[in-house]
Chain A
């Protein structure tokens, strides 16, 4: 097992998450949700601790983490950008908006900028289809975004 780099207090919190679900293997997905809330992502080390606590194999935990797109093994940027690629947004031009983000930030989908400021991802329908195309940055939702707006939106995070 990799050497432990997480602070002891965080590990304790993680174990408490597991205990909240009675350390039951069948609660793995709920535990992972809790862990991701705690760390922002699910590095190998976190998965190993969870496997230990719930008494399941690390391979099983890894299998579940990689199956679900909500779980991430990479840290996100300080301002996670998500472009909605649901059908409604796609039909109203989300692809052009995405291209513009990619061009300006010079990252691909799933990547984080070198300075750790922004990460770019796509998601499927936030359900604000009336505002399509929709972009979310952190908790903020931007509606009716056009490629021309991208620069201005990013400048808000300067």
Chain B
């Protein structure tokens, strides 16, 4: 970070940008100028700090004061108080929800205490658009070490022994995959980085690419050396413009420094990286579909084998890995396989990044050691459920995963355990739900997603999921019978067993897991015609308690469809044949006279 005495780090991830972090940066810069500090203090835009709930985040270095929920208007005060007068701006410090004390160092916050950062090691610490800052934190040292002193076999062995498994969902051992691709005979091979990240509600890979793009480039080059490839391709969603730009900048800088390109570090090893844009199709995250998409075709999966390791991009052996998988590689090379394999559980080594979202207090990006419990993640790191509501379920694995409940909270998180409970690790989306969330609606939400994203190549997925969705819809309308529930389960299992690719094979998981874990809730819909969470509109009735209603006419005025009638100062009534169940009246009533049944 050069000549400056201190730095102000401003989170410039997508989340904080939406809250005008650019305004903060420019106001900080002009405040520094006004106080003649612009020679001594530098404002740095970093990648995501993770604590998105409290964004935008501003951190003062070297004293590590962590300011939360900063607005552009606060910039002047931060410079004047913190830097000129040396006093902390108390009102912008994080307040511990339990002790109500103000905490200035993130180390002591519940959100950070149990985290362990390997993949996210640089996110929020460096300027992702400046290669020197990456290099200053051991960047490209792992590549240098390998190129200068190791054979591809030796380097692959380190990854193999570390126990690193794919973070894109499947959990396949990374070192083994590299070995397969290395052993495949061909004149040309490819390294592909899967940055499609289609799971709605997940933003791990995006944050890594935005916050630390060089770590992925370095790892791809290492992989290229190990498997004998000279070309790397990054397949990234077009919906991530910031990540794409930072990657482009990183690639150009690395080329300029001779860290990718021809004859890297004078060792004769050639490796260059190109970017390929996705175009909004979830199925393109599946590796065979991804490869077809890169070839300019419709992104439809094909049957494996042949695996990409034998026949991939342009028919050549191709090693596909996820962004987070790659981000783990350089530290493993530098610190050794033993260091890495001591973190985590017996079969799942290292850490996992999760995008914690939904009804938790601390929404954000977290990295935790494998083996931590869901309870620690949701309650210690996530700070518990929003608004003091009751925890109901947590969804992991996105549209391929399942909903876990109270009884699963204490199992150690790893690939095998999650599978055993009917969910899966997936890429790392973790959505927390409270008592107001209806599990039938949740299953329907994911099915709706699957139906839209199914590529349509095979019948079980194309037709089956549509029927599955319709059956769920029927349940949420209160028109199903118990017999239908049996058919629902049957069809779900058929789709699982007969679909061509991973999308169809896992798409019934949200249905099956909610049926298993929330059977009473399904029965309530089907047998009693009730939605316990009060989310299925067709099963709800808004009524006005005539004893509580004072006839203020407020509800009458807000009702968008004029379903409410009554004279002033006399109790009103709702005509349920007109009511569209929007809930506007309930929100407005000051007397608690309106309820849902």
Residues of A within 8 A of B (CB): 24-30, 32-33, 63-64, 67-71, 85-92, 96, 99, 103, 123-132, 134, 141, 143
Measured between C-beta atoms, what is the minimum distance from B559 to chain A in Å?
13
Within 8 A of A (CB), among B283-301: 293, 295-299
Task: Pick from B15, B282, B298, B449: contact of A130, CB below 8 A.
Answer: B15
Task: Pick from B15, B295, B437: contact of A127, CB below 8 A.
Answer: B15
- Asked if B363 and A68 sit within 8 Å, CB to CB, the answer is no
Known contacts A67-B281, A129-B357, A130-B363: A87-B296 contact under CB 8 Å? no
Within 8 A of A (CB), among B522-561: 560
- Asked if A125 and B277 sit within 8 Å, CB to CB, the answer is no
B280 at the interface (CB under 8 A from A): yes
For A71, the chain B residues whose CB sits under 8 A away are 279-280
Report the separation of the CA atoms of residues A70 and B238 in the bound assembly, to the nearest whole angstrom. 8
- Asked if A91 and B279 sit within 8 Å, CB to CB, the answer is no
Report the separation of the CA atoms of residues A49 and B277 in the bound assembly, to the nearest whole angstrom. 21
For A25, the chain B residues whose CB sits under 8 A away are 296
Known contacts A127-B240, A131-B15: A91-B582 contact under CB 8 Å? no
For A67, the chain B residues whose CB sits under 8 A away are 281, 298-299, 455
Interface centre among A29, A129, A134 (most CB of B within 10 A): A129
Known contacts A29-B293, A127-B14, A129-B357: A70-B201 contact under CB 8 Å? no
Measured between C-beta atoms, what is the minimum distance from B216 to chain A in Å?
17
Within 8 A of A (CB), among B393-434: 395, 398, 429, 431, 433
Residues of B within 8 A of A (CB): 14-15, 17-19, 52-53, 55, 198-203, 206-207, 238-240, 276-282, 293, 295-299, 355, 357-359, 363-364, 395, 398, 429, 431, 433, 437, 445, 449, 455, 560, 582-583
Classify the secondary structure of B's interface with A: loop
- Asked if A125 and B201 sit within 8 Å, CB to CB, the answer is yes
Task: Pick from B14, B282, B359: contact of A128, CB below 8 A.
Answer: B14
Report the separation of the CA atoms of residues A29 and B276 in the bound assembly, to the nearest whole angstrom. 9
For A91, the chain B residues whose CB sits under 8 A away are 357-359, 431, 433, 437
The closest CB in chain A to the CB of B455 belongs to A67
- Asked if A70 and B398 sit within 8 Å, CB to CB, the answer is no
Report the separation of the CA atoms of residues A67 and B174 in the bound assembly, to the nearest whole angstrom. 31
Task: Pick from B17, B298, B429, B455: contact of A64, CB below 8 A.
Answer: B298
For A70, the chain B residues whose CB sits under 8 A away are 238-239, 278-280
Task: Pick from A87, A128, A134: contact of B431, CB below 8 A.
Answer: A87
- Asked if B280 and A143 sit within 8 Å, CB to CB, the answer is no
Task: Pick from A33, A85, A103, A124: contact of B198, CB below 8 A.
Answer: A124
Report the separation of the CA atoms of residues A83 and B582 in the bound assembly, to the nearest whole angstrom. 18
- Asked if B445 and A90 sit within 8 Å, CB to CB, the answer is yes
Report the separation of the CA atoms of residues A152 and B398 in the bound assembly, to the nearest whole angstrom. 33
Number of A-B contacts (CB under 8 A): 123
- Asked if B296 and A129 sit within 8 Å, CB to CB, the answer is no
- What would 13 more interface pairs be, CB under 8 Å, given A64-B297, A87-B398? A64-B296, A67-B298, A69-B281, A87-B200, A87-B357, A88-B357, A88-B363, A91-B437, A92-B359, A103-B560, A125-B203, A129-B363, A132-B357
- Asked if B437 and A129 sit within 8 Å, CB to CB, the answer is no
Measured between C-beta atoms, what is the minimum distance from B110 to chain A in Å?
16
Report the separation of the CA atoms of residues A124 and B15 in the bound assembly, to the nearest whole angstrom. 15
Interface centre among B55, B201, B206 (most CB of A within 10 A): B201
The closest CB in chain A to the CB of B358 belongs to A91
- Asked if B202 and A125 sit within 8 Å, CB to CB, the answer is yes
For A128, the chain B residues whose CB sits under 8 A away are 14-15, 18, 52
Report the separation of the CA atoms of residues A124 and B560 in the bound assembly, to the nearest whole angstrom. 29
For B239, the chain A residues whose CB sits under 8 A away are 70, 123-126
Measured between C-beta atoms, what is the minimum distance from A47 to chain B in Å?
14
For A88, the chain B residues whose CB sits under 8 A away are 200-201, 357-358, 363, 431
For B298, the chain A residues whose CB sits under 8 A away are 63-64, 67
For B202, the chain A residues whose CB sits under 8 A away are 125
Measured between C-beta atoms, what is the minimum distance from A124 to chain B in Å?
4
For A130, the chain B residues whose CB sits under 8 A away are 15, 52-53, 55, 357, 363-364
- Asked if B18 and A134 sit within 8 Å, CB to CB, the answer is yes
The closest CB in chain B to the CB of A63 belongs to B298
Interface centre among A25, A86, A132 (most CB of B within 10 A): A86
Report the separation of the CA atoms of residues A62 and B293 in the bound assembly, to the nearest whole angstrom. 14
Task: Pick from B17, B276, B281: contact of A30, CB below 8 A.
Answer: B276
- Asked if B279 and A69 sit within 8 Å, CB to CB, the answer is yes
Measured between C-beta atoms, what is the minimum distance from B18 to chain A in Å?
4
The closest CB in chain A to the CB of B437 belongs to A91
- Asked if A129 and B445 sit within 8 Å, CB to CB, the answer is no
Known contacts A123-B239, A127-B206, A130-B55: A33-B18 contact under CB 8 Å? no
Report the separation of the CA atoms of residues A71 and B277 in the bound assembly, to the nearest whole angstrom. 12
Report the separation of the CA atoms of residues A33 and B52 in the bound assembly, to the nearest whole angstrom. 31
Report the separation of the CA atoms of residues A126 and B202 in the bound assembly, to the nearest whole angstrom. 9
Measured between C-beta atoms, what is the minimum distance from B6 to chain A in Å?
27
Measured between C-beta atoms, what is the minimum distance from B354 to chain A in Å?
11
Task: Pick from A29, A30, A68, A86: contact of B201, CB below 8 A.
Answer: A86
Measured between C-beta atoms, what is the minimum distance from B202 to chain A in Å?
7
For A143, the chain B residues whose CB sits under 8 A away are 18-19
- Asked if A129 and B279 sit within 8 Å, CB to CB, the answer is no
For B15, the chain A residues whose CB sits under 8 A away are 127-131
